[in-house]
């Protein structure tokens, strides 16, 4: 029996030992082309990304420039006719004698001018309410000679629409209530408070009125009764309307007086209420009267949140605005509306702490950075 020569020879190495060097050599040869390909692809993608961002930025800049130019031209076209005086219009027509006309033509011309300026004021309010304080202009248009009730209603409706937009853009304020069951008077501490002012239609036509609360508030809605200013209030159960800020730092008594239903204006004052009891002075609420002085202002249909607001020493800001008028249509016929009662809905609004009106510049930029969640860089000198 002979031995197998292969079984007596040296043991053969595994096949994988021959494959590894070969694959290493192949990968070594392909490494440079692969790296070059990846670099080319990455560079191309990065170049396209940067180009796309630049194109987007350039497009946005061009759009902003075009919009700014359009708004500038539009503003000029709207404002110039409003600044044009009747006397100047007459001087332009003096050559052909059209300025010397009958009283009828003069009245018709004044009405036509009132209609035109009312339309321009509406366009200004809707398109530029964020950039300018338009209240004085809107009040001027409201009192134009030969101004019609229809134009006034349209103008006031546009103003309420702008008020709604600006209040909505404020966002949500921090909720909180400082009201306590131990308070002697009804206390309102909600970020937005609805105040309904109501009166009989007969008394509303007799002159200015004063408004007061007769029952405690639920903290978000207050019903105020309005009577003629010289009415003896001793026969009514008058409850002071005490308002506190949601952060408990400010407190005052809100008074409403000189309500004119025809012009829809009402005088308001924020006055320090009676001193708080000694046991509550350490409750975190600023002692009444220490944080601000008495504030007087007038609420009109053209009081807009971005321009008509009050800044207190504590940094809190508030405002009062007209949101609804009833009856909304004239003539008013039941059951659609009640012709015997007139109502006015006011919003008392506490502004967010980080709000700055577009017409103001913040005085403390550290607060701005904190509001934007940007930590200040202490390394800068």
Q: Each residue of 20-29: pLDDT tens digit? A: 777 777 777 7
Tokens at 87, concatenated: 């006397």
Return d(Cα 266, Cα 226) in angstroms, integer. Answer: 11
**pLDDT higher than 60, residue 176:** no
DSSP state of 279: G
Residue the block writes with tokens 């130019």: 69
pTM of the model: 0.70
Q: Are 159 and 317 in contact (CB under 8 A)?
A: no
Termini Cα distance of the chain: 99
| Chain segment 327-378, per-residue pLDDT in tens | 876 667 777 777 888 999 999 999 988 787 776 766 565 666 666 666 555 4
pLDDT at 94: 56
Backbone angles phi, psi at 130, to 5 degrees: -85, -15
Return d(Cα 162, Cα 147) in angstroms, integer. Answer: 22
Which of 12-21, 88-97, 208-217 has the lowest average pLDDT? Answer: 88-97
**pLDDT higher than 50, residue 286:** no
pLDDT at 186: 55
**pLDDT higher than 60, residue 15:** no
Return d(Cα 342, Cα 331) in angstroms, integer. Answer: 13
* Total H helices, total E strands in the chain: 8, 11
Return d(Cα 134, Cα 99) in angstroms, integer. Answer: 31
Q: Which helix (H) or strand (E) holds 6?
A: helix 5-8
């Amino acid at each position: 029996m002979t031995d197998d020569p292969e079984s007596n020879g040296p043991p053969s190495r595994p096949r994988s030992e021959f494959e590894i060097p070969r694959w290493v050599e192949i990968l070594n040869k392909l490494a440079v082309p692969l790296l070059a390909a990846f670099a080319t692809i990455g560079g191309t993608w990065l170049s396209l990304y940067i180009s796309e961002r630049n194109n987007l930025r350039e497009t946005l800049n061009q759009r902003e420039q075009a919009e700014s130019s359009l708004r500038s031209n539009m503003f000029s076209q709207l404002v110039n006719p409003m600044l044009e005086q009747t006397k100047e219009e007459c001087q332009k027509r003096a050559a052909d004698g059209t300025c010397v006309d009958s009283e009828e033509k003069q009245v018709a011309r004044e009405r036509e001018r009132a209609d035109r300026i009312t339309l321009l004021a509406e366009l200004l309010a809707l398109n530029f309410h964020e950039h300018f304080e338009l209240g004085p202009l809107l009040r001027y248009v409201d009192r134009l000679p030969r101004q019609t009730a229809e134009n006034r209603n349209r103008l006031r409706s546009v103003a309420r629409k702008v008020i709604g937009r600006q209040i909505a853009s404020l966002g949500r304020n921090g909720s909180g209530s400082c009201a306590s069951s131990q308070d002697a008077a009804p206390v309102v501490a909600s970020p937005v408070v609805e105040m309904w002012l109501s009166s009989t239609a007969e008394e509303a036509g007799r002159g200015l009125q004063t408004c007061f609360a007769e029952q405690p508030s639920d903290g978000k809605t207050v019903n105020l009764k309005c009577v003629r200013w010289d009415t003896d209030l001793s026969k009514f159960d008058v409850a002071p309307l005490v308002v506190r800020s949601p952060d408990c730092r400010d407190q005052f008594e809100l008074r409403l007086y000189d309500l004119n239903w025809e012009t829809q204006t009402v005088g308001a004052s924020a006055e320090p209420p009676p001193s708080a009891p000694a046991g509550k002075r350490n409750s975190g609420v600023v002692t009444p009267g220490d944080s601000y002085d008495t504030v007087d202002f007038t609420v009109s249909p053209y009081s807009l949140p971005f321009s008509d607001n009050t800044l207190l020493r504590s940094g809190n800001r508030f405002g009062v605005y007209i949101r609804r008028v009833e009856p909304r249509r004239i003539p008013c016929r039941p059951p659609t509306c009640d012709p015997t009662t007139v109502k006015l809905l006011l919003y008392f609004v506490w502004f967010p702490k980080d709000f700055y009106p577009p017409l103001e510049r913040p005085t403390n930029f550290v607060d701005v950075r904190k509001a934007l969640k940007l930590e200040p860089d202490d390394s800068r000198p």
